[in-house]
Structures are given as C-alpha cells and as structure tokens.
Amino acid sequence: MEVVVLPTYAEMSKAAAQIVADVLNTKPNAVLGMATGSTPLGLYQELVRMHREEGLDFTQVTTFNLDEYVGLRPNHSQSYHYFMQENFFKHVNMAAGNIYIPSGTTSNYRSFCEWYERRIQECGGIDVQILGIGSDGHIAFNEPGSSLSSRTRLKTLAQSTIEDNARFFERKEDVPIYAITMGVGTILEARTLVLCASGQNKAAAVAAMVEGPVTSMNTASALQLHPEARVFLDESAAGHLKMREYYDWVKKMKPGAPKV
C-alpha cells in the first residue's frame, strides 16, 4: 500500500486525479470505478478541469459506481445518480450508455446485483477504483462485519453511517436505511485502488485501515490485500498514523527509485 500525505485537500485531490488521468492517457477506453461523498468532489473537479483545459477525453470511458441508496429515484437530489450527474457526468464528454450506477429502485435486487457484477466483467473489469472511507472504516457501503469477499448486494446501513449522512438530508428520518453496494471482493478485483480521505473525523478509521489488522470490522483494511492500493490523505486525516515519517521518506525518495 502506498500512503501519500499532502498538505491540503486540494493537493490530495489533484494527486489522486492525476492517477486517473495517467490511466486514461495510456488506455482511453479504461473502466473507472466511481465513488460519491464529499471527499471525491475535489478529484472530480480536477478531472473536469483537465477535460476542459487539457482535453482529457472520456468518450470511450466506462464507469461503474460503487453504490446507491435503496428507495431514491435517480432524480432525487440525494441519490448517487443525481450526485454523479451534477458533479461529474454533465461536465465531461462521457457517453450516457457507458455509465453504470446501481439501481436504488429495481424490483429485483438479487438479479440486479448479479447483472451488475456480470456487466463489470463483460466490460473487462475495473481499471481504477476511486474510494472514500466512512468514519467507521467502510468502503462503498460495506459496513463493519461485511465479508471481505462480499459481492454486490443489498446492505443495511450502520446507524453511525445514517447519522454521518444525515447532514445531506432535511431530517435524519429521511436517510435511507438500505443501500445496494459493490462488495469488498468486487472492489478488490479492480486493478488499481485509489482511496482519498480528508479531515480529522477520518483519522482513526484511516490509521486502522493502514496500520491495523486486516479485519471486516474496518472493511477499508482489505486494501492491505491489494497489490496496487494507493492512499491519498490530507494532513488531518493522517493525524493518527504511527509510520508517518516512513511514508514521507518513501514519497521523498520516490523520484530517485529505479523505474519498474
């Protein structure tokens, strides 16, 4: 796992966006795994800027989103469909037919989830998966206790997640209780993982993910099992890391390392 600490949220977002851009520049028809939440907003803004100013092209790109709330229609202002449309898709040149987001309103969740998994495979698998982390260590909506080999499925949200996400809804009672989410096993199959975390309220979950044991109690810790996991943090999210000096040393020495 590569851990890169940057002084600010903006620099963290730029560094993570550069990974995505590098992949698109070598593979214009790459498959991207998309995340929602406030953390990846800066990353998306940077990709939009690259699209506008540097011609970063999305016409051949396919995307798969991690998750969606059950019960919210795509045009609901807090649905992840709406989030993606407003914060990313409408600002770049993606083909509408190449966008996949789990359905929060299907009549058959089981068969939808199986189809979603199949579609990822048929599209060649995910090249880069963007991730955030919940304050309880979840990735996507894989709450503590989720199997580390889980696949796309319906999950009940943890009460702490409902509380964390209540800030986006008018009332806490409006936060959906269920979500459809890629599993930890699904996520681990992506070729590269890019996880961003910002802010003090993520510091404990981040330390457990990076330096704690691999455990379903912090599903982000499964990134330790992945050969290409890259973690981008701002100063406050890195606040509880014990090996901080080493991560900074590795970053400083990276330009001189033999090319692999």
Q: Catalytic annotation on 136?
A: yes
Q: Residue 72 and residue 104: Cα distance in Å, rounded?
A: 6
Q: Catalytic annotation on 138?
A: yes
Site string for ligand GLP, 47-76 (x = CB under 6 A): -------------------xx---------
Q: How far is the CB of 132 from ligand GLP (least distance, A)?
A: 3
Site string for ligand GLP, 85-104 (x = CB under 6 A): --------------------
Q: Which residues contact 95 (CB under 8 A, 6 or more apart)?
A: 59, 60
Q: How many CB atoms lie within 10 A of CB 58?
A: 22
Q: How far is the CB of 210 from ligand GLP (least distance, A)?
A: 16
Determine, following the binding rule CB under 6 A, whether residue 79 of this chain makes contact with ligand GLP.
Answer: no
| Cα–Cα–Cα angle for 13, 17, 20, rounded to 5 degrees | 155
Q: How many residues of this chain bind ligand GLP (CB under 6 A)? A: 13
- Name residue 104's amino acid: G
Rg (CA), the chain: 17
> In this chain, which of 161, 216, 218, 221 binds ligand GLP, going by CB under 6 A?
161
Torsion of CA 49, 259, 193, 246, to 10 degrees: -100
Q: Catalytic annotation on 11?
A: no
Sheet strands side by side (includes 153-156)? 67-69, 178-181, 153-156
Q: Catalytic annotation on 174?
A: no
Determine, following the binding rule CB under 6 A, whether residue 140 of this chain makes contact with ligand GLP.
Answer: yes
Determine, following the binding rule CB under 6 A, whether residue 34 of this chain makes contact with ligand GLP.
Answer: no
Q: Residue 138 and residue 120: Cα distance in Å, rounded?
A: 21
In this complex, which beta carbon is closest to ligand GLP, that of residue 9 or of residue 55? Answer: 9
Task: Give the active site residues.
Answer: 67, 136, 138, 143
Applying CB under 6 A, which residues contact ligand GLP?
35-39, 66-67, 132-134, 140-141, 161
